[in-house]
Chains A and B, each alone.
Chain A
Amino acid sequence: NAGVTQTPKFQVLKTGQSMTLQCAQDMNHEYMSWYRQDPGMGLRLIHYSVGAGITDQGEVPNGYNVSRSTTEDFPLRLLLAAPSQTSVYFCASSTGYNSPLHFGNGTRLTVT
């Protein structure tokens, strides 16, 4: 039981490049979400999904796209990377109502 798996662990992009951060969970959780963590800011919600085919925006969605074609996977796409997107990105999943989040170990992204 791997839990929540994020790849890659580290990534460096140039401004304007695109990439996809991968997130997979093997716990059959319906709810999945993406957060970014910046120094002094805590974690902020980017996008979330309550099930396959259903996604919605969080607090800081601009510059990011998501899709949820399966229960297991919830990729996060950066279409035109900007230095402001330099951050640590965490994917999380949960069973839903009044349930805790299970986090991956994060992807550290640097945009130059």
Chain B
Amino acid sequence: SQQGEEDPQALSIQEGENATMNCSYKTSINNLQWYRQNSGRGLVHLILIRSNEREKHSGRLRVTLDTSKKSSSLLITASRAADTASYFCATDLTGGGNKLTFGTGTQLKVEL
């Protein structure tokens, strides 16, 4: 069963623009994580936000979490061609760190 669902499924923007991806989930969580996957590669961790946090920043990345709406968003500011990748949210129900449930991902294309 899919706990997280990303929206949109695909996003195409110009370099320098901001990209926003959303994730909705169904049950209460301990934390929510965002990962990036370049074509043909493994996933790379971007940000982990705990259920008692509302916003976190890392460089050009900003993640928000609204537990009342069971949703999260990932904002990439001033996007670059190198940001072209698939982005996944993953929920951790217990905090145990070993049983993440992933969404289906957003494919981001940043064009020059």
Measured between beta carbons, the chain A residues less than 8 angstroms from B40 are 105-106
Within A63-104, which residues are at the interface with B (CB < 8 Å)? 90, 92, 94-104
Are B88 and A105 neighbours in the complex by a CB distance under 8 Å?
no
Q: Is A40 an interface residue (CB 8 A)?
A: yes
B70 CB to nearest chain A CB (Å): 17
Given A41-B104, A42-B88, A42-B104, do A106 and B97 touch, yes or no (CB 8 Å)?
no
Chain A nearest CB from B43 CB (Å) reads 5
Q: Say whether A106 contacts B31, CB under 8 Å.
A: no
Task: Determine if A90 and B43 form an interchain contact, defined as CB atoms under 8 angstroms apart.
Answer: yes
A6→B95 CA distance, assembly (Å): 26
Chain A interface size range: 20 to 34
**Cβ-defined partner of B88 (8 Å) among A43, A49, A97, A102:** A43
Contact of B42 among A41, A90, A94 (CB under 8 A): A90
**Are B105 and A42 in contact, with the CB atoms below 8 A?**
yes
Interface SS of A by simple majority = strand
Q: Which of B31, B48, B98, B105 has the most CB of A within 10 A?
A: B98
Complex Cα distance, B97 from A100, in Å, reads 7
A47 to chain B, nearest CB (A): 10
Interface assignment of A45: CB less than 8 Å from any CB of chain B:
yes
Interchain CA distance A78-B48 in the complex, whole Å: 32
Are A45 and B44 closer than 8 Å at their CB atoms? Answer: no
Partner pick for B99 among A40, A42, A48, CB 8 A cutoff? A48
A50 touches B (CB below 8 Å): yes
Shortest 3 CB-CB contacts between residues of A and residues of B: A103-B42, A100-B45, A43-B102
Of the A-B pairs whose beta carbons lie under 8 Å apart in the complex, a sample of 19, sorted by A's number, is A33-B98, A40-B104, A41-B2, A42-B4, A42-B103, A92-B43, A97-B97, A98-B31, A98-B92, A98-B95, A99-B97, A100-B33, A101-B33, A101-B100, A103-B42, A103-B44, A104-B42, A105-B40, A106-B41
Residues of A within 8 A of B (CB): 4, 31-33, 35, 40-45, 48-50, 58-59, 90, 92, 94-106
